[in-house]
Structure 1
């Protein structure tokens, strides 16, 4: 498959034009013209790039790519080494951030709800770009039971912040670094909110509003969308696909 065709398909499939993002979505580093083998992973770190080289990938697809608004523009040090490895091996780098979070079928939020086994999963319409979701548990659980359930499904114990021990039967979530959606989650009337990280202020929001908060890991909550996207591309276009999970405790 030609690079331009893959880029055009991904941009349309993920509805890139809908999103005002913190980094460019789409092709970030140009490599070879013909793409037969793709590697997917959460973040374009050196370990993932090295694995893509080892697997002789033509393209690397990630959720966290390069050229964030807050990062220095110069190509030195770690950033230079990463991009040099891609260019030296003619590997295309595609990055999709918020469009991958918000995709209604293969997005990080959609997939996290499925992984957690929640029911009545739906997007919260009041929040733009499909970034806040909610669902229900099959049966009410204590906070300790739900924390154990998250641990079992994600392979990582969450940080639990709460004011009381009320049982949980409704949940809202937004993957990654979306802890500040806790106030919107409280306004929905759910018992608990899940995201990836926690800030100092998150504790006070949880305690004072009486909503359970579970920081389940930025990486751990965002593994599933990029893998599903790679599988989708492999099935649709006959590409060889490898998902590589470079573990991250954050």
Structure 2
């Protein structure tokens, strides 16, 4: 079946090509009655709007690009649900990409989104300096950039997240008040927020006059499969149990 064009719609309905084009673009110059008539005909006959033509004409594609470490991560999947629910009430579409916390892949994804002409980018960045420089370039070129979760970077842009340092500091303070001084700190090996959380842990111990035991700093490679993660944690705790050196509390800084 031949793809229907704006010219075909104009001929079928008796409008000029300009009127049809403006109606499909939801221009204020066209009456609502005419817009509805043209849009209904276009939808009914399988008309597909050309996003790239719109980009050339208006500089906008109504596409927002989003880069997260992994969609399978429950934290980021919940964020995606919220974003998609909000965007479903708008004319914007979302492109979702996964960096897998790989800086090179992240940079390639950013370049791809730029080539697609996205109107904005939402990202949980790896913190790689090359990607950061590219994000600054995009922002300076007029593309809005929003950081989510991983916000502890020196870029003047929109950021949505929590103070990870403060949150962990308060958590460790709570344990110390309950007379827990020997606290095992479990985290991933990722940079960014994990480093801020670890800094909160170490600073709280230091401020409380508690000697830092480096055996209590356990970093797990979350790139491994879940079974391997569990095995590594079990092995560590079993060793602590067998040597009668179990901690008084365990603080996990990663899911």
Bigger CA radius of gyration: 2
Task: Give the structure with the higher percent strand.
Answer: 1
Q: Same fold (TM over 0.5)?
A: no
TM-score (norm 2): 0.29
Larger RCO, structure (CA 8 Å, separation 6 or more): 1
Task: Give the structure with the higher percent helix.
Answer: 2
